[in-house]
Structure 1
Amino acid sequence: MAAPAAATVRDANRYRPPAVTGLVDLLDRQVRERPYARALVVGGERVHLSYRALATLADDVASRLIRTGLRRGDAVGLICANTAEFVVALLGAARAGLVVAPLDPALPGSQLSARLEALGARAVLLGPAATGVPLPVPAWPLRVDASRAGTAAVVLEPDILATPQVRGAAGELSGGDALVLFTAGTTDRAKMVPLTHANVAASIQTICATYELGPGDATVAVMPFFHGHGLFAALLASLASGGCVLLPERGRFSAGTFWDDMRAAAATWFTAVPTIHEILLDRSEREYPGPQAPPLKFVRSCSAPLNSATQRALERTFGAPLLSAYGMTESTHQATSEPLPQRGALKQGSVGRATGVEVRVVDRSGRPCPAGVEGEVWVHGPTVARGYLADRDGTSYTFVDGWLHTGDLGTLDEDGYLSLTGRIKNLINRGGEKISPEYVEDILAGCPGVAEAAVFAVPDAMYGHRVGAAVVVREGESIGTEEILQYCRDHLAAFEVPDRLELVAALPHTAKGGLDRKGVQARYGSAPYAP
C-alpha cells in the first residue's frame, strides 16, 4: 500500500501549469479550487484579500464599466500605484472586455495627457493617490475598502459615455487585445505596445513554468505594475499560479520595510532590478534579519545587467540562488532566464536560456552567429507582440517576419545560454573602436568599493568620442579615482579605460529602476573632452 501513497504525494507536489487564456480567466482556477486562500496582502495594515473576494471586486468593477457604454476592445487608462485598486481595476476592466493601458503615476500631467490622447483612451481609472490630475478624458476615481474582518467593497461611480468617434491608436485594437504598455522613454519617444490575451497567457505560463510557481509561493511587489517586470513576473504569474502578492504600504517599494514585508507575506522569492538588489545588499549588514528572514527558493533579477560580483554577494547574503532573466516589453516581458538549480546549470554573467520562445544571435546579414560570437539578439514566439501602435516605420524595422529585433548585442554558448554585451545604440565609437558601456560598467562594478557606475560617450575632436564614467562609491569606502582607473587598466583594453572619471553621490534612474542613460549623458557627457 506504500507505493500508491507515495505516488499520491508526488502528484500533489507536482508542478501544475496555470490554465489561463488571458487576463479574463486569470483567477478562475483559484476561485474554484481555493476560494479562501489569500491572493493579496494589502498595505501597512496587512489586510488579506482572498481569491474569491478579489474576483468579486473585479466582477463589480466590470459590471459598472459595462454600464457606461464602453464596448469590447475600447481602451482605458489606469493610473495607480501598486495597490489593491490597481489589481481590481486591471482585472475588472479585462472582464469587461476592455484594453487596459497602465501609466506611471509619477509622470507629469502633460505627459499623461499626451499618452492618453495618442492611445485614444475613452476614459481613465485613477487610484487614490492619482486623483486631481487634469486629464483630457473622463477620469473615474476607484477605491477599494477592505477590512481585517474580510469584507471588501469597490467605490467607483463612472459616468455614462456617449459613443465618440475613435481617435488615436485605439482604432487598431480589438477584443483580442488585453493591454497596451508604453516602452521606457520620454513622451515623444515612448512606443505603444499592444499585447493580446494570448501574449499574456503565454508569458504567464512561461514564467510560472520557469520558476515552478504554485500555491505555496508568495512574493512582495517590488517593481511597479505599469511596466512588464512587475506586472507579469510578480503580479500576474503569482495570481495565476495560486500564490500570494504583498502590496507594500502606499504601493511603493521601501528598503526600510522590505524584510518586514517579506516576513509578513512568508515570501519564497522576489524579483527586482539590479539597482534595488544593490540597495538591499548595501543595507543588509544592519537590516537583513538573517535566520528570521523567510527561506527563499530563489531571487530573480531582470530589466538591466547585473554584475557578477553583486550576484555572488547577494547569493552569499540571502542564501538563495540569484537567477538572471532577460525580456522586453515587446516580448511580453521574459524571453530568457537562468533555470532553477535543480533544472539546469547557473552560469554567472549570462541571462539564461530561452523560455517559451526561440532566441537567435545574428550578424549584420541576419545569419545566425557561431557559439561565442557577438551579434544582435532576435526573439520569436507566442509572447512577441505584433508591432507598435500608430508607428508603421518602427514596426517594420523592429518586427520582421515574426522576429523581434531587440537591438541588444549578445552571444549564445554551446548550451544555449545568452550573455548580453550591450545595446547597439549605446556603443561608443572611439576612433573606430566600438566600446560597450555595459561591459565597462560591469568591470567597474567589480572594483572593491564601487557601488554603481555609468559609462557614456564624451565628445572629442580627435577620436569622435572618448569614454567617460561616473562612479558611486559605497558608503564608508575611501577609494579614489586613481585606484579605480588602475583597476580598469588591469581589467580592460587600453581603449576601453575611461578617459574621464568622476566620483558622484548618485546616478539618475528610470521609473523601473534602471540606469537613465539619457540623464547620465546630459549630466556628465555633454562637455567636450579636455586633457
Structure 2
Amino acid sequence: MAVPAAASVRDPDPYRPPEISGLTDLLDAHARGRPCRTALIAGPDRARISYRALDELAAAVAARLTAAGLRPGDPVGLVSANTVEFVVALLGGARAGLVVAPVDPALPGPRLTGRLEALGVRAVLLGPVAAGAPATSVGPGVPAWTLRVDLSGPATAVLETGAPASETPALARGAAAELTTRDALVLFTAGTSDRAKMVPLTHGNVAASVREVCAAYELGPGDATVAVMPFFHGHGLFAALLSTLASGGRVLLPARGRFSARAFWDDMRAADATWFTAVPTVHEILLERAATDLADARLPPLRFLRSSSAPLNTATQRALERTLGAPLLSAYGMTESAHQATSEPLPQHGPLKQGSAGRPAGVDLRVLDADGKPCPPGVEGEVWVHGPQMARGYLGNPGETAHGFADGWFRTGDLGSLDEDGHLFLTGRLKNLINRGGEKISPEYVEDVLAGCPGVAEAAVFAVPDATYGQRVGAAVVRSGAEAPGAELPGAEEMRRYCRGRLAPFEVPDRIVIVGSLPHTVKGGLDRAAVELLYAREDPEWPGLI
C-alpha cells in the first residue's frame, strides 16, 4: 500500500496520548472536563452512560468494597460477560486499591475455582454471564458478591456483599502474598487447562499499554467502538475498553454481553463507531456475511480496523479493506506485555507492509538466534520484548518466570524476523515446530500457504508421529462456503499440488483431512492442543483422510 504524500509532513499539532497513571485515574480527566459525554452504551435498550455517571458508579462500588472489609492490595476475582457490571466492578475495585483478576465466565466450575484458588482471592465479584454460559460456581470458602447496575433511570449500582470479607476465610495458600499495592490486575494466560499462568500487571504497566494503544491509532473523544473481544483477556480489555475510556471515546457493550455477528453492524451504527478490533476468526465471519449484512446498509464512519491475537490471512485483510473502505492494521502482543507490543501504523504515518505485524509500540524488541545473538535483518530467530508494559514474571511459578524473563526482557517463544525498517514479520512458535527427519517446519507458514489455495477458508497444520522421520506434516482444512454456486471445491490432492509450487518438498503436508470447522481458543486463535487430539494420529488409515 502506498504511503500518502502527507505522511512526510510533520503535524503542527501532534497527537498526545492521555496522561494517566493506571486504572485509578482512567476516567478523571473526562469526568471533570467532559462529564456529560457518553462513555458506555449498554443493555438491550442501548442506554447511554456518561463519564460522570460511570465515575459515580465506580466510586460507589469502591466504597462498598472497602466497607465490606477489603484492603488495598487484596486480590478479587471478577466473573462477568462484557456488561456494564464488568466495567463498574473493574474500576470500582481499582478505586478501592484492589487487584482485580478477570476470569472467563464460561469456564467449568472446577477450572474457574482452580484459578481463583491458585491466586488466593479474598472475594469474587459476579456480574451477568454471557447467554448460554454455565451457572457460575466459585467453590466453598470464597465469598461471591453480586453486582447489579440498573439502567432504567439514572444509573445505580447495588453490590450484595453478604458477610464482610474479614469474616470469611481467605485462600492464604494462593499466590496473593506476591502482590503489592502497585498491582492493578492479574490476567490468566490463554491456557487450555487449570495450569494457565497468572500474570500480574501494575498500574504503571496498564498506563503504558493504554497510552501506546491510544498513540498508535490516535484515539480521541470523537472515536467509538463496539466491544467484540471478551474483557477477561488483554485484547478486549486494553485495546477496546480501557484505551477508549482513557481517550474520552465511547464503547458499545453488546446486549448479550458477547459478540453477535447478526447484531454487529446495527451495534456499530448505533455507536457511530470509527473502528473496531477483533481476532481473524471474527474478521472472516464478517467478510463472509458482508454481502448480506451490508446490502443497502449505511456503513459507520470507519477510520481503521484492527486485528490481533492471531495471524490474519492477507487475502482476508485486503478483501475487508475493499469491502469496508478502511485500512486493516495488524498488531502483535501477549498477556505479559499488557497486550500490544507492535502495530502497523495509520497509513498517514508510515508504510503498511504485507504480512508485517508492524513496528514496536513503546517497547524495545529484538530477534535472537539460538546462541542469544541478534539476528541480521531478514533472518529468523526468537522474539524478545522489553518495556514499561511488561509484567515482572508469573505469580506462584518461579520456574516459568526464570525461563521466560531475563534482565527485564521477556522471551516470547515466537519466531520472526525484523526488516531493515524495524518491521516485525512473525513466522511461528518455537514449540510448534515440526521436526521431519531433522528438517524444521513452521506449521504457521504452511497454514498461510494453504489458506491461499482457492476454496480454502482455514487450515491447521500439525505433526503426525512417524516411525521413520520422527514426525510428518499433517493438515486439517476447512473449505470455503462462500464459493460461487456450482464451483468445484478443491480436494486434498489439489491442495497438495498447490503447495508443491510454493513449499519445499519436506514442507508439503503428507496428509490432509477435510473438516467442517476447526477448534479455537476463547481469544480466537487456533486451539492447537485440540487439533492434535483430533487429528494427529500415527494410524495411516486416518479416518476422514481424502
Matched, 1:514 2:518: no
Which residue in the other structure is 1:87 paired with?
Answer: 87
Q: 2: distance between equivalents of 1:131 and 1:434?
A: 45
CA separation of 1:469/1:296 partners in 2, compared to 1, >3 Å: closer, same or farther? Answer: same
1:190-229 matches, cutoff 5 A? 190-229=196-235
Offset of 1:128 from its aligned partner?
2.3
Q: 1: distance between equivalents of 2:425 and 2:189?
A: 23
Which residue in the other structure is 2:499 paired with?
Answer: 488
Identify which range, 450-459 or 134-143, moves more after superposition.
134-143
Offset of 1:316 from its aligned partner?
1.0
CA separation of 1:299/1:289 partners in 2, compared to 1, >3 Å: closer, same or farther? Answer: farther
Q: 2: distance between equivalents of 1:358 and 1:210?
A: 15
Which residue in the other structure is 2:46 paired with?
Answer: 46
Give CA deviations for 1:37-90 in whole Å, capped at 9, x if unaligned: 000010331110000000100001000000111110000000000000000000
Give CA deviations for 1:103-126 in whole Å, capped at 9, x if unaligned: 001100000110010000000001
Which residue in the other structure is 1:6 paired with?
Answer: none
Offset of 1:448 from its aligned partner?
1.2
Q: 2: distance between equivalents of 1:389 and 1:45?
A: 41
Which residue in the other structure is 1:105 paired with?
Answer: 105
Which residue in the other structure is 1:145 paired with?
Answer: 150
Matched, 1:156 2:167: no
Q: 2: distance between equivalents of 1:193 and 1:308?
A: 31
Answer yes or no: is the 8 Å Cα contact 1:339–1:346 preserved in 2. Answer: yes
1:417-428 matches, cutoff 5 A? 417-428=423-434
Offset of 1:295 from its aligned partner?
2.3
CA separation of 1:299/1:457 partners in 2, compared to 1, >3 Å: closer, same or farther? Answer: same
Answer yes or no: is the 8 Å Cα contact 1:16–1:214 preserved in 2. Answer: no
Matched residue type, 1:157? E
Which residue in the other structure is 2:4 paired with?
Answer: none
Please state whether the residue corresponding to 2:416 is helix, strand or coil: strand
Offset of 1:389 from its aligned partner?
0.2
Give CA deviations for 1:163-206 in whole Å, capped at 9, x if unaligned: 65633100000110000000011334310000000000000000
Matched, 1:453 2:462: no
Answer yes or no: is the 8 Å Cα contact 1:460–1:529 preserved in 2. Answer: no
Identify which range, 160-169 or 84-93, moves more after superposition.
160-169
Q: 2: distance between equivalents of 1:177 and 1:132?
A: 26
TM-score between the two structures when normalised by the length of structure 1: 0.95
Q: Which runs of 5+ in 2 are unaligned?
A: 1-10, 484-488
Matched residue type, 2:166? A
Q: 1: distance between equivalents of 2:428 and 2:419?
A: 17
Which residue in the other structure is 2:185 paired with?
Answer: 179
Give CA deviations for 1:131-178 in whole Å, capped at 9, x if unaligned: 65252311011111113x5x1111212131226563310000011000
Matched residue type, 2:392? R
Q: 2: distance between equivalents of 1:290 and 1:346?
A: 30
How well do the aligned residues superpose, as a CA RMSD in angstroms?
1.5
Which residue in the other structure is 1:5 paired with?
Answer: none
Matched, 1:397 2:403: yes
Offset of 1:14 from its aligned partner?
5.3
Matched, 1:245 2:251: yes
Q: Which runs of 5+ in 1 are unaligned?
A: 1-9
CA separation of 1:33/1:250 partners in 2, compared to 1, >3 Å: closer, same or farther? Answer: same
Offset of 1:490 from its aligned partner?
1.6
Offset of 1:319 from its aligned partner?
0.9
Matched residue type, 1:457? A
Matched residue type, 2:128? P
Please state whether the residue corresponding to 1:250 is helix, strand or coil: coil
TM-score between the two structures when normalised by the length of structure 2: 0.93
Q: 1: distance between equivalents of 2:459 and 2:25?
A: 43
Which residue in the other structure is 1:350 paired with?
Answer: 356
Matched, 1:256 2:267: no
Give CA deviations for 1:247-266 in whole Å, capped at 9, x if unaligned: 00111000111111100010
Question: Equivalent pairs: percent with the same residue?
Answer: 69
Answer yes or no: is the 8 Å Cα contact 2:230–2:237 preserved in 1. Answer: yes
Q: 1: distance between equivalents of 2:63 and 2:481?
A: 53
Matched residue type, 1:425? K
Answer yes or no: is the 8 Å Cα contact 2:115–2:194 preserved in 1. Answer: no
Please state whether the residue corresponding to 2:329 is helix, strand or coil: strand
Offset of 1:529 from its aligned partner?
4.2
Answer yes or no: is the 8 Å Cα contact 2:127–2:146 preserved in 1. Answer: yes
Which residue in the other structure is 2:516 paired with?
Answer: 505
Answer yes or no: is the 8 Å Cα contact 1:115–1:187 preserved in 2. Answer: no
Matched, 1:416 2:422: yes
CA separation of 1:100/1:510 partners in 2, compared to 1, >3 Å: closer, same or farther? Answer: same
Give CA deviations for 1:306-332 in whole Å, capped at 9, x if unaligned: 121111111111111110000000011
Q: 2: distance between equivalents of 1:436 and 1:488?
A: 14
Which residue in the other structure is 2:332 paired with?
Answer: 326
Which residue in the other structure is 2:7 paired with?
Answer: none
Which residue in the other structure is 1:7 paired with?
Answer: none
1:264-279 matches, cutoff 5 A? 264-279=270-285
Answer yes or no: is the 8 Å Cα contact 1:17–1:208 preserved in 2. Answer: yes
Which residue in the other structure is 2:62 paired with?
Answer: 62
CA separation of 1:132/1:444 partners in 2, compared to 1, >3 Å: closer, same or farther? Answer: closer
Matched residue type, 1:139? A
Matched, 1:120 2:131: no
